[in-house]
Amino acid sequence: MRVQLGRQLLDRQIVDADGLLLGKVDDVEFAVDEGGLPYVAYLLTGQGALGRRIGGRVGRLLVALADRFTEEASAPLRIPFGQVARIDSAVRLRARADELPRPPVETWLRRHLIDRIPGADRASG
């Protein structure tokens, strides 16, 4: 699949196989194949990924906020590019949200805030 990163991928909504919004493509991670050609290996989403992409003072602030709410230093959610079914007005995945890793900020919030609410373990979701 050939894409123009700036126009067709970055800042697009990421939608799982059930139509659930997962976030936006904040950055990409490249790898290099056996022939030495770069390719997009992962879509990155989260404050840390966005902060590193935009840089400067605002970028550093986003990374600092992400670091505050994650166990790993501003680790973004990494979605394998192989999970992309198609790219149109959004990036549509083959996988469902529950088949992907949870975003680090969501994991931190669940562990340190939501799970401490009385009755949270009985809530649907």
Domain ranges of the chain: 5-122
Phi and psi of 89, rounded to 5°? -70, -15
CATH of domain 5-122: 2.30.30.240
CA–CA distance, 44 with 52 (Å, rounded to integer): 11
pLDDT of residue 68: 66
Query: Which amino acid, one-letter code, is at 83?
Result: Q
Which backbone phi and psi does 121 adopt, to 5 degrees? -70, -15
* Structural tokens at position 26: 């904040």
Q: What pLDDT, on a 0 to 100 scale, did the predictor assign at position 3?
A: 57
Tell me: pLDDT of 124 over 60: no
User: For residue 2, what pLDDT is reported?
Assistant: 59
Does residue 102 contact residue 63 with C-beta atoms inside 8 Å?
Answer: no
What pLDDT digit, counting tens, does each position of 66-113 carry? Answer: 666 665 555 678 899 999 999 999 999 999 988 887 666 566 656 666
pTM of the model as a whole: 0.67
